[in-house]
Amino acid sequence: MRTLTSTILGTILAFSTLPVFSGTTWAQDNSLKQGDSTIEVDSHSAVIGDEEIEKAVKSALQRDTGWYPKLRLGGSAQLNYNKDVDGVTDGTAFTFGVYIKGALDAVYKNFEWQNKLEIEHQQTKTPSIDEFIKSADKFDFQTLALFRIPKAEWVGPFARFRLQTSLFPGHYISDEDTTVRFYKSDTKIDEKSDEKFVRDPQQVLSQQSIKLSSAGEPLVLSESAGFFFNPYSHEMLTVNIKVGAAGQHLIADGGYVSFDDDDDDAYYDVRQLVDTNSVGVEGEIELTGVFVNYVNWSLSGNIYYPCATDEDHGLDGADLIHSDIAAKISVKLASWASLDYTLTAKLAPFVTEKWQITNTLLFNLGFDVFK
């Protein structure tokens, strides 16, 4: 999977350097897409050093001093009924969710303060489980300050703080009787058979839930500082890059995560999380664009490598790499409705050494409070 991460990010960087031919359009680059000012540039080269294009980029990046708020509230729903379908349990599956997406930017000359908030929660009812279970639970807030260098406004220093957590407790529930085994935080996969790592197992009956984590757990706080680059801005493709030093703090509060590793035994294994603080280096690239007026897309990749930690997780070298990859395509059906497909792949070895992969295709309803 490390090779997969390197391949994906390498492909992103390769596409970000593709040449662009005549008729280039430079669009304003900002997190809220506020006050767009599109500028036509008649040139056969899109190199930043070109004087004509450099002036166009400088003009397009500028925003008037002031506040730029944005807030969107919405929900999603999915209904699926199966009967006599091979390999699928008969019955109705129902998913519903709500989300809040907000942003608030402040601009003063070449200084910008950007704030983003995403809250998402989904509940799912399947034919095999009697009660609703959460299928998505996200709270993500980040605040970023940056300064655009007057002579080259596509580059400058930045500082960012981010908070990520879950809003509701996490539970395990099954349609079969199961024994849950609790392992210590330093247990490795090949040590699962060693009883010294196992705490008192618990018998869980069918349809009975067992709590594994509390609300707001685990909590991940991260901060970073370095330089940002906006080397290319176009309606079809906008490139944002950040590199710098970073720190991360995992606050676990004694919660547990899956440690089953898809084995065939009769147990469900969980491993305890442990508070971890680390410092290291971080790199991030974000690509966004618009295919047509009603279809937009985004692709982002983030890598964090901790150079020093206060907890020994038994990891070293490439096993310490944290990765976060996200891809999204959104088709706007109306001002209040869209069809969204999202793919996320996350690797957080201080939480679990397995890739956390989520595929979502949802019909979303929402309205803009601020736009």
Pairing state between β 39-41 and 295-309: unpaired
Question: Of 357, 227, 354, 221, which Cα lies nearest the Cα of 282?
Answer: 227
The DSSP 8-state label assigned to residue 312 in this structure reads -
Longest dimension (CA), the chain: 72
124-154 burial, b at 16+ Cβ within 10 Å, e below that, comes to bbbbebeeeebbbbebeeeebbbebeeeebb
Tokens of 269: 């294994």
Res 189: pLDDT:
60
Tokens of 235: 């309606």
Q: Helix (H, G, I), strand (E, B), or coil: what is residue 15?
A: helix
Res 367: pLDDT:
81
SS (H, E, C) 173-233: ECCCCEEEEEECCCCCHHHCCCHHHECCCEEECCCCEEEEECCCCCEEEEEEEEEEEEEEE
Res 201: pLDDT:
81
Domain map (residue ranges) of the chain: 2-370
What are the backbone dihedrals phi and psi of residue 167, each rounded to the nearest 5 degrees, phi first?
-85, -25
Peptide bond into 218 cis (omega under 30): yes
259 within 8 A of 223, measured Cβ to Cβ: no
Q: What's the start-to-end Cα distance of the chain, in Å? A: 40
Res 39: pLDDT:
35
Question: Of 72, 70, 119, 76, which Cα lies nearest the Cα of 339?
Answer: 76
Alpha-carbon span 227 to 155, nearest angstrom: 7
Res 46: pLDDT:
38
Cite the beta strand spans of the chain per DSSP E.
24-26, 39-41, 66-82, 91-108, 111-125, 133-147, 155-165, 170-173, 178-183, 202-204, 209-213, 219-233, 238-251, 256-258, 267-272, 276-292, 295-309, 322-334, 337-348, 352-370
What are the backbone dihedrals phi and psi of residue 197, each rounded to the nearest 5 degrees, phi first?
-90, -10
What is the tens place of the pLDDT at every residue in 236-277? 899 999 999 999 999 987 788 887 665 667 788 888 888 999
Res 269: pLDDT:
85
Element counts in the chain: helices (H) and strands (E): 2, 20
Res 192: pLDDT:
61
Alpha-carbon span 333 to 267, nearest angstrom: 46
Tens digit of pLDDT at every position of the chain (371 positions): 444 444 444 444 443 333 333 333 333 333 333 333 333 333 333 344 445 444 444 444 556 889 999 999 988 877 777 776 666 677 888 888 899 999 999 999 899 999 999 999 999 988 888 888 888 899 999 999 999 999 898 999 999 999 999 999 988 888 888 888 888 776 666 566 556 666 778 888 888 888 888 888 889 999 999 999 999 988 889 999 999 999 999 998 778 888 766 566 778 888 888 899 999 999 999 999 998 888 999 999 999 999 999 887 778 889 899 999 999 999 999 888 888 899 999 999 988 888 888 888 778 888 888 77
- Fold type of domain 2-370: Lipocalin (2.40.128)
